[in-house]
Amino acid sequence: MVGIVDYGVGNLFSLGSSFRAIGREAAVSSDPEVLAKADRLVLPGVGAFRDAAQKLRASGLDKFVKEQTAAGKPMLGICLGMQLLFEESHEYGVHRGLGLLPGRVVAMDGRLPGELKIPHMGWNRLQVSRGRLLKDADGQYVYFVHSFFAEGCEEALSAVTDYGIPITAAVEKDNLFGCQFHPEKSGAAGLSILRTFCEL
């Protein structure tokens, strides 16, 4: 079973449906007892970093997530859920993340060349350099919606996408995985990535 960590941020409907579509049972829950029974976890998230980080701490699920991943359980952070894995974010101030991966989250604003629009929204292509999660996904188009991105995370970087500059698209280190894009909104390519995650 896949445990989708519900800490009050975002709409988890599609995520649950996408696991069911590939024949996997998924439980959306904020209860550590329920989530502890899952053989892998998904940390979702949309919205503002500070708000999400606060909610994660207030629910106590930050400690739970750290314990579970330290014990070796595979975990996939998606979008803001990926950004939370890092040490800190510079989204309207400096805010502490889970610190599970080295790196920080910074604004696209001021870093992109030319007239590129922010947020980076739409389908963009994965350039996969390493890792298990995206082993079959090089060159695939996936769906992004974000205005901030992770940098200084070379150690865990597994894929980038080109948006005037290389943008961190995915990271992985041991049993920790993160996608800046939304696999649950990326059509067949996205479902295939979720299937791989379930087999790790």
Partner 1 sequence: MITKRIIPCLDVRNGRVVKGTNFQGLQDVSSPVELGRYYSENGADELVFYDITASAEGRKLFTDILTEVAATIFIPLTVGGGINTLEDFDRVLKCGADKVSVNSGAIRNPDLVREAARLYGDQCVVLSADVKRVAGQFRVFAKGGREDTGMEALAWIRRCVDNGAGEVVLNSIDTDGVKGGFDLEMLEAVSNAVDVPVIASGGAGCEGDFVKLFQTLPKVDAGLAASIFHFGQVQIPHLKGTLKENGILVRI
Interface with partner 1 by CB under 8 A: which residues? 11, 13-14, 17-18, 20-21, 46-47, 115, 117, 119-125, 141, 143-145, 162-164, 184-188, 190-191
Q: At 102, phi and psi to the nearest 5?
A: -70, 140
> Token digits for 165?
């500059």
> Token digits for 18?
């996408």
Structural contact between residues 145 and 123, judged by C-beta atoms closer than 8 angstroms: no
- Could you confirm whether 182 is annotated as catalytic? yes
Based on CB atoms, which residue is closest to partner 1, 64 or 181? 181
Cβ-proximal residues to 73 (8 Å cutoff; 6+ apart), any chain:
38, 39, 40, 41, 175
Q: How far apart are CA 133 and CA 135, in angstroms?
A: 6
Based on CB atoms, which residue is closest to partner 1, 1 or 46? 46
CB of 11 to partner 1, least distance (A): 6
CB of 8 to partner 1, least distance (A): 13
- Could you confirm whether 79 is annotated as catalytic? yes
CB of 67 to partner 1, least distance (A): 30
Q: At 176, phi and psi to the nearest 5?
A: -105, 130
Based on CB atoms, which residue is closest to partner 1, 11 or 71? 11
Based on CB atoms, which residue is closest to partner 1, 128 or 156? 128
Structural contact between residues 87 and 99, judged by C-beta atoms closer than 8 angstroms: yes
CB of 46 to partner 1, least distance (A): 7
Which among 25, 154, 182, 198 is annotated as catalytic? 182
Which among 95, 154, 184, 198 is annotated as catalytic? 184
Based on CB atoms, which residue is closest to partner 1, 60 or 164? 164
CB of 145 to partner 1, least distance (A): 5
Q: Nearest-CA neighbor of 127 among 163, 167, 160?
A: 160
Which among 79, 146, 151, 153 is annotated as catalytic? 79
H-helix segments, the chain: 13-21, 32-36, 49-58, 61-70, 80-83, 187-199
Point out the residues that are catalytic. Answer: 79, 182, 184
